[in-house]
Amino acid sequence: MPRQMAPGVTEGYLKVAPTVVRDGDTATIDATGIYYRQLNEAIRGAIAEGATRVVLNNVNGQRYIGTGVKAKGVTIEVHGTAGNDMAMFMDGPTIEVFGAAQDGVGNTMNAGKVIVHGDAGDVLGYGMRGGAVYVKGDVGYRVGIHMKAYESLIPIMVCGGNARDFFGEYMAGGILVLLGMNTQFAEQPLVGSFVGAGMHGGVIYLRGTVESWQCGKEVGITEATEEDMAALKPTLADYCDAQGMDLAEVLSVPFTKLAPFSHRPYGKMYAPM
Amino acid sequence: MPTSFIQPEFKVKIDYDKCHKCGRCVQQCGWGVYNFNERPIPDDAKCRACHRCVTYCPAHCISIEKNQLAYRDNDNWSPAARKAVWRQAETGGVLLTSMGNPLPYTRIFDHLVLDACQVTNPSIDPLREPMELRTFIGHKPDSVGVESDGQGGFRLAEGEGMKNNLKLDTPILFSPMSYGSVSLNVHKSLAMAAQRLGTFMNTGEGGLHADLYPYQDNVIVQVASGRFGVNPDYLNRGAAIEIKIGQGAKPGIGGHLPGEKINKEVSGTRMIPQGTDAISPAPHHDIYSIEDLRQLIYALKEASGYKPVGVKIAAVHNVAAIASGIVRAGADYVYLDGFKGGTGAAPQVIRDHIGIPIEIAIAAVDQRLRDEGIRNWASVIAAGSIRSSADVAKAIALGADAVAIGSASLMALGCHLCQSCHTGSCSWGITTQKPELTRRIDPEWGAEQLTNLVHAWSHELQEILGALGVNAVESLRGSRERLRSIGLDEQMNKVLGVKPAGM
Ligand code: SF4
Ligand code: SF4
């Protein structure tokens, strides 16, 4: 049972509908102390009523912002710290976080865009199938894990800082980029160990270099060619635009490309009986 | 050197005196056993004893026999153990097999017997009296609030009562089998049958094909670690959502659908490119704790307008504590899959040696949830070799709310348990994507077969309930007093919460 603190209060949050102020196409919601369920009901409600810009103020770790929301041309602005599983299963909207985000951003996301103007946590973009996630700063463990692509859906994730272990593990498709620029851990390696372990599709670009012992054995490591960089440039330009960064500076350091040797890494492991 | 030490397991014998030389066997065999040169010539080494040719031979002149090679007696080194060593010495591979665990472990269901009424309280005749099989899967409230109806009676108070439960007309569901591991026609057969029977089929982890949309109210959609085909649309179509953590045939390991089975249609439903392996990692990488599981359960509820969310796990040693955590995490049902459950492909060593029997898991979980006072928070669905209505009744008496059938449902469609699903060449058109084989199942016929099977079991279940003198399956649920054991030791009786016969 959820821990009951006082009537109407669960785990420190108020289980009441927040105040929604509507001004033209914009709905502004004060999230102070509001439980995630009521907050997300209000967000979905505002979108259903035609709001195309939803501004959330005083967000303090509420989960599931934008989760499962299917809509086109809708922007959600998060002021504060977004909680876990933001934009999970999301299909269409743009979320811009003025602050940091916790774990699971863009989990199993289908389409849309997430811009985080701060750091983000672990397991970002797990199983993501489309859309883009742009994080300005550092990211945690297992980022971009099992990203996949399908036909016109190609997920893109760009992280501006450093990343920890298991970056792009099991990756099956999409584009995963790590810049190592806006980091609090400049003295540490750009990325942890087990990069692309089990990778069988997609591509990882690292701004700088990586040692082969840091990478999974399924991964081929090469310097990004001019062609690669030409293909990546629009993505980086879009990222720089969203994060207010200088594209020339981003491109001033050579990139390393990681791609899997095989789409079927375990094809020969089994002996059928 | 011989190419292999392993000799054919079966001998295909054709009585050429009776043979019409029609060539049907050649056509029917998915494994390419037959060559036709004036008459059918079988290659024994390719035979999997699936009996497709035997069934279709108009002259009934084919027989499949065991290749009775004598091996020097050795109980320790069974012929199967020797063959496994030879195969691995040849290939260096992990042995891959399919269907359920075939080893001779104790079949606990076969050591349990049900009670019946005699003299003191009468049994009930289900043919002439109502016998309720309706079952609700989901969270049941701790208490029921009532209010006066103003006319001297009572009614359910506003907002009270059971919410968001799945309504089943019989306590039997179809277990999850993905499109990709089975054919689309099998999926259609299951979906049509589920609709007719008032129960549910389960997509497994391969997504929901558009042809199943008309049946979506009778479909449970699964979310596994590979997240194949999972998007808001998928989550909103299902009647409920199931998080697959584990499978009885392969606890603790992920799934792996080989690229050969990812054709255009399968690729579209899973939303991955054709020809790549569909790899489901062993764990969900967003679940490393019960807290994380709770986070995913509520993410799925948020994304689906608060549909019921169940969690499927393999029955393993610590199943009771795990189930308690799952229920506390907010699951609406816990699906327990015993170690004899089937699979489309699994490493043999995992299938045969990991996990525990479903009977023990049901009893342990039911008891634990009761002891903790949370049994009503979630339903328990049990699976992993439910072979008959007797197994259904015993599973429910041990504490399950309902059971799910996989192998039995495939048998209704022709499966002969040849344990070759992983080859992708099922002659019965079940676990294959080859169009010349998949068209062997007409969904209309398949639905009829499945409906017949479940109807038959449901009638038998009613007979059993009548004999027990109860008029609803609800009254049998967790009623272990109505079970006795034969030939089980004291410790096992204690674990099952069942007395030995005679006591
Ligand atoms: S199906 Fe039977 S009768 Fe026809 S060729 Fe084969 S063995 Fe002969
Ligand atoms: S589904 Fe087909 S291949 Fe698998 S055991 Fe049954 S008959 Fe054999």
CA A129/CA A147 separation, integer angstroms:
6
pTM summary value: 0.94
CA A56/CA A47 separation, integer angstroms:
13
From first to last of its 503 residues, chain B has per-residue pLDDT tens of 788 999 999 999 999 999 999 999 999 999 999 999 999 999 999 999 999 999 999 999 999 999 998 899 999 999 999 999 999 999 999 999 999 999 999 999 999 999 999 988 889 998 889 999 999 999 999 998 999 999 999 999 988 889 999 999 999 999 999 999 999 999 999 999 999 999 999 999 999 999 999 999 999 999 999 999 999 999 999 999 999 999 999 999 887 787 878 889 899 999 888 888 788 888 898 899 999 999 999 999 999 999 999 999 999 999 999 999 999 999 999 999 999 999 999 999 999 999 999 999 999 999 999 999 999 999 999 999 999 999 999 999 999 999 999 999 999 999 999 999 999 999 999 999 999 999 999 999 999 999 999 999 999 999 999 999 999 999 999 999 999 999 999 999 999 999 999 99
Beta bridge partners of B40: B36
**Ligand 1 pocket list (CB less than 6 A):** B 14, 19-25, 40, 57-59, 61-62
Question: CA quadruple B382, B388, B390, B391: dihedral positive or negative?
Answer: negative
* B48/A contact by beta carbon, under 8 A: no
Helix, strand and coil content of chain A, in percent to the nearest 5, comes to 15, 35, 55
B-chain residues within 8 Å CB-CB of A37?
A: 302
Q: Return the pLDDT at B179.
A: 95
Specify the residue for token string 């634990």: B368
**Atom 2, ligand 2: residue with shortest CA distance:** B426
Residue of B87, B91, B285 with shortest CB distance to A146: B285
**The tokens of A139 are what?**
């990211």
What are the tens digits of pLDDT across the range A108-122? 999 999 999 999 999
Nearest Cα neighbor of A155 from A135, A136, A128 is: A128
* B235/A contact by beta carbon, under 8 A: yes
| B66 conformational bin, left if phi > 0, alpha if psi -120 to 50, beta if neither | beta
Q: Check CB contact under 8 Å for A89 and B298.
A: no
Assess whether pLDDT exceeds 80 at residue A265: no
* B92/A contact by beta carbon, under 8 A: yes
Distance from Cα B372 to the centre of ligand 1, integer Å? 62
Query: How many other C-beta atoms lie within 10 A of the C-beta of residue A71?
Result: 17
Rounded to a whole number of angstroms, the CA Rg of chain B reads: 24
Residue B18 CA from chain centroid, whole number: 40
A-chain residues within 8 Å CB-CB of B84?
A: 273
Q: Return the pLDDT at A263.
A: 76
B-chain residues within 8 Å CB-CB of A40?
A: 302
Looking from the CA of residue B420, the nearest atom of ligand 2 is 3
CA A254/CA A73 separation, integer angstroms:
36
* B103/A contact by beta carbon, under 8 A: no
Assess contact for A117 and A135: CB atoms under 8 A: no
Element (H, E) at B351: helix B348-353
Instruction: Kindly list the domain boundaries of chain A, sorted by start residue.
Output: 1-99, 119-264
Nearest CA in chain B to A166: B285
- DSSP code, position A101: B
Assess contact for B225 and B233: CB atoms under 8 A: no
Distance from Cα B25 to the centre of ligand 1, integer Å? 5
Q: Return the pLDDT at A235.
A: 97
CA B375/CA B325 separation, integer angstroms:
12
Assess contact for B367 and B497: CB atoms under 8 A: yes
Assess whether pLDDT exceeds 60 at residue A3: no
Q: Check CB contact under 8 Å for B286 and A107.
A: yes
- The residue count of chain B comes to 503
Opening angle at CA B416, ends B412 and B419, nearest 5: 125
Q: Check CB contact under 8 Å for B281 and A201.
A: no
Looking from the CA of residue B411, the nearest atom of ligand 2 is 6
**The tokens of B185 are what?**
């026609």
A-chain residues within 8 Å CB-CB of B257?
A: none
* CA distance, residue B272 to nearest chain A CA (Å): 5
Rounded to a whole number of angstroms, the CA Rg of chain A reads: 20
* B15/A contact by beta carbon, under 8 A: no
Specify the residue for token string 């449902």: B409
- DSSP code, position B48: -
**The tokens of B388 are what?**
């008959």
CA B398/CA B492 separation, integer angstroms:
13
Q: Check CB contact under 8 Å for A269 and B97.
A: no
CA B201/CA B443 separation, integer angstroms:
14
* B290/A contact by beta carbon, under 8 A: no
ipTM, two decimals, is 0.92
Residue of B87, B230, B277 with shortest CB distance to A273: B87
Q: Return the pLDDT at B275.
A: 82
Q: Return the pLDDT at B321.
A: 98
Residue B129 C-beta-side C-alpha neighbours within 13 Å: 14
Specify the residue for token string 């934008």: A66
**Which candidate in A129, A145, A270 is best for mutational testing of the B interface (most B CBs within 10 A)?**
A270
Assess contact for A142 and A170: CB atoms under 8 A: no
Query: How many other C-beta atoms lie within 10 A of the C-beta of residue A226?
Result: 7
Q: Which ligand is closest in space to the CA of residue B22?
A: 1
Query: How many other C-beta atoms lie within 10 A of the C-beta of residue A248?
Result: 8
**Ligand 2 pocket list (CB less than 6 A):** B 50, 98-99, 410, 415-421, 426, 428, 430-431
**Atom 2, ligand 1: residue with shortest CA distance:** B57
**Which candidate in A1, A148, A273 is best for mutational testing of the B interface (most B CBs within 10 A)?**
A273
Which residue type sits at B266?
V
Which residue type sits at B175?
S
Q: Return the pLDDT at A10.
A: 66
- To the nearest 10 degrees (0 to 180), the angle between helices B358-371 and B319-328 is 50
**3-state SS class at A102:** coil
Q: Return the pLDDT at B441.
A: 98
Residue of A68, A146, A169 with shortest CB distance to B232: A68
Beta bridge partners of A163: A191
Assess contact for B311 and B332: CB atoms under 8 A: no
Assess contact for A242 and A160: CB atoms under 8 A: no
Q: Return the pLDDT at B5.
A: 93
* CA distance, residue B258 to nearest chain A CA (Å): 7
Q: Return the pLDDT at A152.
A: 86
Average pLDDT over residues A31-57: 97
Fold classification of A119-264 (topology level) = Pectate Lyase C-like (2.160.20)
Q: Return the pLDDT at A5.
A: 47
* B304/A contact by beta carbon, under 8 A: yes
What are the tens digits of pLDDT across the range A192-237? 999 999 999 999 999 999 999 999 999 999 999 999 999 999 999 9
Query: Which among B422, B431, B437 is the best mutation to test ligand 2's pocket, defined by most ligand atoms within 8 Å of the CB?
Result: B431
DSSP code per residue over B472-499: BGGGTTT-GGGEEESS--HHHHHHHT-E
Residue A43 CA from chain centroid, whole number: 20
For chain B, domains (ranges, CATH) are: 10-93 (3.30.70.20), 146-500 (3.20.20.70)
Nearest Cα neighbor of A64 from B302, B309, B230, B225 is: B302
